[in-house]
Copies of this chain bind each other. A is one copy, B any other.
């Protein structure tokens, strides 16, 4: 389990990291918001602890950007005792919990564990549903009334992305970023082709998609 901590005060950052590591987790240290986003992209941590007030990109902004492509990862906010946490804004951004400074070691660890437990409970189901299709990421399989469909890792990640953003469109860029990588820029119909093949696999009627809907000029959408 890897936990990312973003905190501009080096002393607090180190204290938190030590605390987390001594409990058997891996700690990623980010001295500012920009670095937090970089580390999140490259290291894929399991949980984020964000200080709200940071120079440059602040905690809210980090949260916003992360949530743009990952709705599941637990995010905790830290705040100095003097500043009131804007819980409304935080919750709006999809925060999972708030920790006020000064905090005790046990309090922090308790909240981190709680958040991980909640997220594990979500993941533990180990499958998600898109319309009448059940996707089992671990097994690289999908099922529809008894019939099983084999999927490739990339196809699973495309379906997962659609599921995580159900109800809103996922841009073509978001697909490429999330399923191919940030440094990949195909110069042809790669994404369309994958959508095409995926539809043939998972749609009951590929000509009238119910799972992968096209949003012209944007990308694709489920639900």
A-side residues, CB < 8 A to B, are 22-25, 32-34, 55-58, 60, 64, 86, 88-89, 92-93, 113, 117, 120-121, 124, 138-140, 152-153, 167-169, 215-218, 221
| B23 and A56 contact, CB distance less than 8 A | yes
Known A117-B60, A120-B60, A120-B64; judge A215-B140 contact (CB<8 A). yes
Known A23-B55, A34-B24, A153-B217; judge A121-B92 contact (CB<8 A). yes
Known: A89-B121, A93-B124, A139-B168. 10 other contacts (CB 8 A): A23-B55, A64-B120, A89-B117, A92-B121, A92-B124, A139-B169, A140-B169, A140-B217, A140-B218, A152-B216
Copies of this polypeptide in the complex:
2
* In the complex, chain B residues whose CB is within 8 Å of the CB of A24: 32-34, 55-57
